[in-house]
């Protein structure tokens, strides 16, 4: 699709192309990059404006507005927000034109910004906990019986944090049933190092007849077995001390942003999955 800027020059925007257009292949790649930028905190329209300026060079706000079919007031707001993030700059010209920094510097800038936010939040932790503890609890305890609970978790960061918490709190036994793809993600998330540091008994069953040698070197071979077939590659769960389970509804056979899991301390669920794990352990084979 083509638009016309204030100087009656034709602007071609791949964001608005149809599937039969020659620019459609570029639109697909731009959409891919845009989706990745959303993970760094940009909104969809912020990402579109940034990518447009990055590929079409310095433009005025009206040019951006017309090319991307955005309201002019919103366009100015988006450009200002990108300037505040340090990834768009204004040229000293009239009319004012805006341009972006390089993609590698953009990623570095956005990552450093998130790191600063985390540092600031971490520095407020002690103060926030003290204020919270100063507030009396008004809940009335009606029973000493431990309540069974569940928690839904979506996204790799949240799930990885929960697994690290479970590993750190394991006293007696940790069981891991996973596919080779799951094990690869756990390996790159440094879970293998955490497992090697724990004094608990560890058992790992991999639902695959093959396993990369790099994982074999990272794990005590006595603690891992391989299933003779690949029939359960969609299954992944972690059991801690026969008291907690993290069960993946969508494991590493799905894209990382679609990972979905449930944590629970339900005794019936934990016991059932524990029995399944022991059955699979007995039917599986050591890798040595």
**Domain assignment of residue 132, yes or no:** no
252 found inside a domain: yes
* Dihedral sign (CA 262, 264, 269, 272): positive
Whole-angstrom distance, CA of residue 36 vs CA of residue 48: 12
Q: Cβ-count burial of 52 within 10 angstroms (0-12 exposed, 13-18 middle, 19+ buried)? A: buried
Residues 33-50 have pLDDT tens digits of 988 898 888 999 999 999
CATH at 93: 1.10.10.10
Which pLDDT score, from 0 to 100, does residue 16 have?
A: 60
List Cβ neighbours of 239 (8 Å cut-off, separation of 6 or more).
Answer: 173, 174, 175, 176, 245, 270, 273, 274, 277
Residue 280 has pLDDT above 80, yes or no: yes
Last residue of a domain, one of 55, 81, 108: 108
What is the three-class DSSP state of 258? helix
Give, in degrees to the nearest 5, the angle at Cα 270 between 266 and 273: 145
Gyration radius of the chain over CA positions:
26
CATH code, domain with 254: 3.30.870.10
| 116 within domain boundaries | no
- State how many domains the chain has: 2
Residue 18 structural domain: 2-108
* Structure token digits, residue 22: 């020659």
Binned at pLDDT 50, 70 and 90, residue 12 comes out as: low
pTM of the model: 0.60
- Residue 288 has a pLDDT of 65
Which of 83, 108, 133 is a domain's end point? Answer: 108
| pLDDT tens per residue, range 113-168 | 888 888 888 888 888 888 888 888 776 666 566 788 899 988 888 888 899 999 98
Residue 200's CB is within 10 A of a number of other CB atoms, namely 14
Residue 21 DSSP symbol? S
On the question of pLDDT at 256 being above 90, the answer is no
Strand partners, 99: 89
> pLDDT exceeding 70 applies to what percent of the chain?
85
Going from the C-alpha of 49 to that of each of 21, 45, 103, the distances in angstroms are 21, 6, 14
pLDDT at residue 22, as a whole number: 66
pLDDT at 8: 42
Q: How far is Cα of residue 232 from the mean position of the Cα atoms in its chain?
A: 24
Cβ proximity of 208 and 180 under 8 Å:
yes
Grade residue 17 by pLDDT with cuts at 50, 70 and 90: low
What pLDDT was estimated at residue 19? Answer: 62
| Last residue of one domain, picked from the residues 57, 77, 108 | 108
Asked if residue 120 belongs to a domain, the reply is no
Contacts of 214 (CB under 8 A, 6+ apart): 187
Instruction: Quote the DSSP letter at residue 202.
Output: E
**What does the H/E/C string look like for 112-152?**
HHHHHHHHHHHHCHHHHHHHHHHCCCCCCCCCCCCCCCEEE
The pLDDT score that the predictor gives to residue 279 is: 93
């Amino acid at each position: 699709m083509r638009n016309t800027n204030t100087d009656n020059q034709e602007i071609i925007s791949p964001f608005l192309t149809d599937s039969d257009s020659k620019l459609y292949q570029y639109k697909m790649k731009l959409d891919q990059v845009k989706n990745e930028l959303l993970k760094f905190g940009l909104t969809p329209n912020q990402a579109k404006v940034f990518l447009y300026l990055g590929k079409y060079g310095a433009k005025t706000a009206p040019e951006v507005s017309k090319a991307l079919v955005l309201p002019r007031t919103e366009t100015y707001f988006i450009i200002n927000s990108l300037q505040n993030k340090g990834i768009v700059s204004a040229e000293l010209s009239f009319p004012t034109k805006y341009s972006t920094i390089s993609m590698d510097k953009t990623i570095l800038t956005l990552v450093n910004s998130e790191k600063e936010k985390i540092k600031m939040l971490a520095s407020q932790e002690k103060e926030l906990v003290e204020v919270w503890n100063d507030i009396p609890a008004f809940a009335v305890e009606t029973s000493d019986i431990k309540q069974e609970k569940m928690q839904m978790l979506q996204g790799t960061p949240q799930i990885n944090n929960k697994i690290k918490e479970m590993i750190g709190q394991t006293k007696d036994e940790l069981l891991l049933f996973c596919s080779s793809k799951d094990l690869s993600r756990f390996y790159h998330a440094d879970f293998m190092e955490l497992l090697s540091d724990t004094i608990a008994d560890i058992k790992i069953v991999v639902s695959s007849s093959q396993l990369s040698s790099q994982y074999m070197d990272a794990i005590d071979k006595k603690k891992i077995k391989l299933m003779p077939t690949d029939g359960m590659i969609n299954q992944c769960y972690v059991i801690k001390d026969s008291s907690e389970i993290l069960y993946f509804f969508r494991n590493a056979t799905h894209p990382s942003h679609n990972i979905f899991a449930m944590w629970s301390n339900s005794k019936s669920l934990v016991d059932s999955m524990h029995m399944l794990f022991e059955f699979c352990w007995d039917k599986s084979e050591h890798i040595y």
